[in-house]
Chain A
Amino acid sequence: MSHSLAAAKTPAAGDAGTRAMPSPIRTRLLKSIVGFGLLAIVTCLVAPLIGSSPISLARVFDRSVPFSQNVDAQIFFVARMPRVVAGALVGAALATAGVVFQALLRNALATPFTLGVSAGASLGAMLAIVVGATVSAGPLSAVPLASLAGAGLAAAIVYRLATMQDRAMSTTVLLLAGVTLNSFFSALIIFVQYIADFAQLYRAMRWIMGDLDVGSFDPIVAALPMILIAFALFAWLPSSLNLLSVGADAASARGVDVGRTQRLAFVSASLATAAGVSLAGPIGFIGIVVPHLVRLIVGVDHRVVLPASALFGASFLVVCDLAARTLLAPLEIPVGVVTAMLGGPFFLWLLVRKG
């Protein structure tokens, strides 16, 4: 082996120092996190100020008035903040799940929604709601657990389909598989609705339209462990996702344990989807709109796209929810309708562009 290659194995610190080249990935990552992070913070602080009763941020944080007498603080923290926090968490979870599914299946149209994973999670959550299950495992309660089971089932079917062949799944197969799974789970959801009583049915219908009106922090706390585990697993994925999106053989030849990474990605993306769906119902299109917009801004490197999508997904859903509750006030549009109005045409545009 030549000296140049031998030297390349252990790059000399001196050489690195004299070149002093900037590291674009560090700069891009920092800029994206600061930019999208600030956007998320501002969105989450401004959104609770807007609503039927106008409140002021100064009064909300006015320490001279006790909380029990500070109406603005009560509206901000008790009435509106849980909804905003839920929106931010669900937006982040669904957007990142979209990023992971897209890289994993090497397909820009793969999302929890198009793959049928959301529908699987919905069926699970719907069953838990209708049956009124009270099972819990540790901090997890029935709805997130049932949602996880449904998402896991759907993701397992997609995983089996995707890894059956060496080549990446074609868009056609992928979309057909998604359509099939969605129809299958929808039929089961209708059946569950059919056997539900009127009160359960109303609750279930409201939930299935996609609704962030969680009422308190309790459902958020129930879904939080799943979201945290999913995000912790996501942290291991980005550079492997870059290589997986180039191809399984290419990834393997560059040192990625393909099987393990695929399993980790499916599990973490299913967890994130289940958490999102259990909290807010099957809100569609976040997983496709957010990653695509983020890629237009920061490029396609998953080490930047994944955290940026989490932050932008949070802002995006909070803003969509703000629109949902203010556009036709006092009437409230389900937030799933708002994201579908934006996401449906966007998805079709992508499909046309891809074709």
Chain B
Amino acid sequence: MLLASELSYGYASAGHPARSFMLDSVSLSVERGSLTGLLGPNGCGKTTLLKLLSGVLQPQRGVVSLNGASLAGRSRRDIARHLAVVPQETHPAFDYTVMEMVLMGRHPHLGPFELEGPSDLALAHDALSATGTEHLATRAYMTLSGGEKQRVVIASALTQSPDVLLLDEPTASLDLGYQLEMATLLRRLNLERGVTMVLATHDLNLAASLCDRLVLMRNGRVVAQGPTREVLTAATIRRIYDVDADVSFHAPAGHITVTPLRRVQ
């Protein structure tokens, strides 16, 4: 349903138009109801790829299409009705309540002068309950813990009623307990609600436990992509991270686990 073909993108800096591409000929395909992980070292272009997939950035070459229609030339509002983004961290400048943050997800569905009505509120409550944050609805967002904030931002993205949810390192700033909770939440949203997700992460074990498919990147190029079990191997980890790792099936966890051993010189 979400297709990227031959995407290239370079950031231009003052006086230096993009000379080399940050992303170079990246293609990937996301199936309806799937959970796709984007893996790769810092600066490999994961976040840029997510921005291209969400239409926040326009590719200099290549096409992103959703359900067969290209994103190019479509309004932000139109794209946001289909694609929602959960950034790494969200820091509002003002003290919004959780409910206000969640209701902002309805923005692309409302006219310029339209206020949200009962059906929008019902959707917000539904998203709060799906993310286990209904009891926080009247709290100020800034007073929440990191894990709660991330759940609220996911609820806000769900309120957008998207076809695809794009998550940028959803567990990056969370402690172990919240990381587990987040993984459980994402799995549940995928299994019970069929939410299609693409998540960029540094956490190989999170990716191994959650994702059906992985896209492994390095230096703006796709090194390998395919089903998790086939792609997540010691050889590919060595290729993209320069790290020797033990990759084995962990029976109690029920998924592949990756244990880094040493940096390859």
Contacts and interface: CB of A to CB of B under 8 A. Distances in A.
Interface of A: 1-2, 4-5, 8-9, 11-13, 15-17, 19-26, 29, 102-103, 106-108, 168, 235-236, 239-240, 242-243, 245-247, 249-250, 252-258, 295, 299-301, 303
B93 A11 contact: no
Contact of A301 (B33, B100, B105, B163): B100
Contacts of B94: 103, 108, 245, 295, 300
B87 A250 contact: yes
Given A2-B193, A249-B56, A255-B81, A243 B115 contact: no
A236 B99 CA distance: 22
A254 B80 contact: yes
Interface string B53-80: 0101000000000000000000111111
Top 6 A-B pairs, shortest CB-CB distance? A255-B80, A255-B108, A2-B194, A11-B119, A253-B85, A16-B119
Contact of B115 (A29, A249, A250, A256): A29
Contacts of B33: 1-2
Contacts of B93: 102-103, 106-108, 168, 245-246
Interface residues of B, number: 56
A239 B118 contact: no
B107 interface: yes
A16 B117 contact: yes
B235 interface: no
B116 interface: yes
Given A11-B123, A16-B118, A23-B116, A253 B56 contact: yes
A257 B56 CA distance: 9
A11 B123 CA distance: 8
5 contacts: A243-B107, A245-B94, A249-B56, A249-B87, A253-B80
Interface of B: 32-33, 51, 54, 56, 75-81, 83-85, 87, 90-97, 99-101, 103-105, 107-108, 110, 112-113, 115-123, 125-126, 158, 160-163, 192-196
Contact of A21 (B80, B105, B121, B162): B121
Contacts of A22: 118
A25 B116 contact: yes
Nearest to A164: B14
A254 B108 contact: yes
A60 B79 CA distance: 58
Contact of B92 (A5, A239, A246, A252): A246
